[in-house]
Amino acid sequence: MKVSIASDHAGYELRKLVVAHLEEKGYEVLEGGADTAALPFSYVEAGQKIAEDILSGKADRGIAICGTGIGISIVVNKYKGIRCGLCNNEFMARMSRQHNDANVLAFGARVVGSSLALSMVDAFFAEEFAGERHAERVGDICAQEDRLFK
């Protein structure tokens, strides 16, 4: 599994912890975004990198981090084929996979602590999409994308 992870400056420190965690677990990680927490870096650019890595096939899943998780989740969700769940707890991370077949997990470095962030990451990668009625909903989302973004 290849994971694209990126953040702005606000998410830099937490991103580094998540990258180390993923690499320790054997994931191939593509990292982007801010090079330091000290200088402002746009969450828009960070989100674009994740979406483009997934849509070009360089990555299977993404992790998106900014201060609140809001800005970067908005950016990635503008792309056709990206389903990003902005999560604040492990339950949401699990459900984003089971019910929404999310391919990007977003969270806010100023919202969640590091141990919660790592449990959300583990939950996100552990869960499978449940299919059945949820496949119908996700299919409807895809049909909506087809209608809106030709």
Nearest distance in Å: CB 10, ligand RB5: 4
Q: Which is nearer to ligand RB5, 43 or 124 (CB)?
A: 43
Rounded Cα–Cα distance for residues 78 and 73 (Å): 9
- Single out the residue of 18, 5, 31 nearest to residue 112, CA to CA: 18
Q: Cα–Cα distance between 2 and 70 in angstroms, integer?
A: 24
Q: Got the DSSP string for 83-112?
A: -EEE-SSHHHHHHHHHTT--SEEEEETTTS
Site string for ligand RB5, 6-45 (x = CB under 6 A): --x-x--------------------------------x--
Nearer to ligand RB5, 14 or 123 (CB): 14
Q: Residue 95 or 109: which CB sits closer to ligand RB5?
A: 109
Is 99 tagged catalytic? yes
Q: Which of 21, 99, 134, 142 is catalytic?
A: 99
3-state secondary structure of 144: helix
Binding mask 59-78 for ligand RB5 (x = CB under 6 A): -------xxx-xx-------
Is 142 annotated as catalytic?
Answer: no
Q: Which of 9, 66, 84, 87 is catalytic?
A: 66
Residue 19 C-beta: closest distance to ligand RB5, Å? 18
Q: Which of 90, 99, 105, 104 is nearest to 130 (CA)?
A: 99
Q: What is the distance, to the nearest Å, from the Cα of residue 52 to the centroid of all Cα atoms in its chain?
A: 12
Residues of this chain that bind ligand RB5 (CB under 6 A): 8, 10, 43, 66-68, 70-71
